[in-house]
Amino acid sequence: MKKNQYQICVSGAAAGETVEASHQLAFRLGQAIAKTGHTLLTGATVGLPHYAALGAHSEKGLSIGFSPASSHREHVKAYRLPTKEFDYINFTGMAYVGRDVHLVRSSDAVITVGGRMGSLHEFSTAAESKKVCGVLLGSGGLADFIPTLVQNIPTPGADDIIYDTDPERLVKQVIAALDKKYEHDDYGDDVPSDYQTVTKNRQG
């Protein structure tokens, strides 16, 4: 088992222009996270996060979704969200805004690809929570506005945000930053024990 098993969130637009333009980039992010043996976390939704989940699934990686719904039925029937790409879905019952906070707080790092207002909420929550933040430049939407945003609005950890245009290289840099952050720990302080258990069971 890897010494450090990280939960890496991919945050991005569920709909809009960046989904069409950057879905392959999101897929590659999911693949890269799975290939390095870490766990992908997403909002269990459509669009770019779904492509990331598909990427992780294609590499037989562990993929966990955080649903805004309170049950499987509500997830599928009311929210019309996917299920089969996930090894486990946390039905938060918190709607989208509350789900975003729970998702980010359960992650070691958050990578933004494309993105709209919901992704901005996840990014700001990650920054305020002192998570490792990665941004895939060239993917459009929020991701390409973040450098300007943090230059004009005081942002916690702004100098430590990791930017790159290549999905695989970005994931590698995010993992290196996590290794440095948690170099004296077996697991990060923010990792809930239930996700460690899911990972151990998957690998065992």
Asked if residue 57 lies in contact with residue 32, where contact means CB atoms within 8 angstroms, the answer is: no
What are the backbone angles phi and psi of residue 195, rounded to the nearest 5°? -75, -30
Predicted confidence at residue 51, as pLDDT, reads 98
d(CA 126, CA 171): 16
With a cut of 60, say whether residue 203 has pLDDT above it: no
Considering only residues 199 and 179, tell me which one the structure prediction assigns the higher pLDDT.
Answer: 179
Which residue type occupies 69? A
With a cut of 90, say whether residue 176 has pLDDT above it: yes
Of 182, 184, 162, the closest CA to residue 171 belongs to 162
Please give the domain boundaries of the chain with CATH numbers for all domains: 7-203 (3.40.50.450)
Contacts of 146 (CB under 8 A, 6+ apart): 112, 123, 135, 161
The band of 183, judged by pLDDT with boundaries at 50, 70 and 90, is confident
Residues 112-148 have pLDDT tens digits of 999 999 999 999 999 999 999 999 999 999 999 999 9
Residues 1-59 have pLDDT tens digits of 456 899 999 999 999 999 999 999 999 999 999 999 999 999 999 999 999 999 999 99
**Mean per-residue pLDDT of the chain:** 91
Q: Supply angle C-alpha 73, 74, 78, rounded to 5.
A: 120
- Please name the residue that has the structure tokens 């598909």: 54
Residues 86-108 have pLDDT tens digits of 999 999 999 999 999 999 999 99
